[in-house]
Structure 1
Amino acid sequence: MYGSGSSDVRTLIFSSENFEFWRIKMVTIFKLYGLWTLVEKGITIPDSKKKKTAKEISIEEDDEKMAAILMKNAKALGIIQNAVSNKIFPHIANADSAKMA
């Protein structure tokens, strides 16, 4: 409801139809959460950090920045995963696994 103060944003579930409509809504959601630049440009993780998880990153200034970026990346990925049908999900899950290897 408009003006209710709720921070929940409902996404249209993409099931391979009306992609352009879904895409416009998704861009708006990413901009709302301050994630659009990250989604559009991606992130680069230095080789020394690739083997670490967000929990393993030490609490130093550069590492704190990297942890914040990784958390934003996880948030964006979660939004995307929740906005696709079960039919589409395996395709994006496999693509994400390939990037992580």
Structure 2
Amino acid sequence: MVGSGSSGGDLQTPQFDGANYDFWAVKMETILIAHDLWDVVELGVQVQQIPEEEEGSGDEGSEAEQIPVEPPTISREDRIKNAKVLSLIQGAITDELFPRIRNEKTAKGAWDILRREFR
């Protein structure tokens, strides 16, 4: 098996320690584009809107008759892509920087935090 020897497969990301953000960002962008994952950072994960039931139909039914609206969902493919990119970003920063994005659930959110702080 050909690879870098890391448990993450054959993908090596540059390590970001807080210095030279612009260089790191360009390298990461190129890697993510090469793996067809950059759209997750650029656009974020796309929420699938659930069609609403006849809005404004004038029906004044009781609350018990009203169907609760489900929150928007993210497709399985987008969840997986987001997790891949978030994992790459988390793995590409030092332990000292990790707490800054620890609670972020989206790759775009993590990227934006790092960009705001270090650009």
The TM-score normalised by the length of structure 1 is: 0.68
Q: Where does the alignment leave 5 or more consecutive residues of structure 1 unmatched?
A: 51-65
Name the structure 2 match of 1:28: 30
5+ long unaligned stretches in structure 2: 4-8, 49-70, 110-119
Write the letter of the residue equivalent to 1:89.
F
Q: Deviations over 1:4-50 (max 9, x none)?
A: 95461211111101111100100011101101112111023342437
Q: Counterpart amino acid of 2:78?
A: I
Residues matched between the structures, number: 80
More helix by share: 1
TM-score by length of 2: 0.58
Matched with 1:76 is 85
Matches within 5 A, 1:1-101: 6=3, 8-46=10-48, 47-49=71-73, 66-96=75-105
Q: Which residue identity is paired with 1:92? A: I
Residues 1:48 and 1:24: Cα distance change in structure 2 (over 3 Å): closer
* Amino-acid identity (%): 34
Check whether the contact 2:46–2:78 (CA below 8 A) recurs between aligned residues: no
TM superposition outliers: structure 1 runs of 4+ over 3 Å: 4-7
Structure index of larger Rg: 2
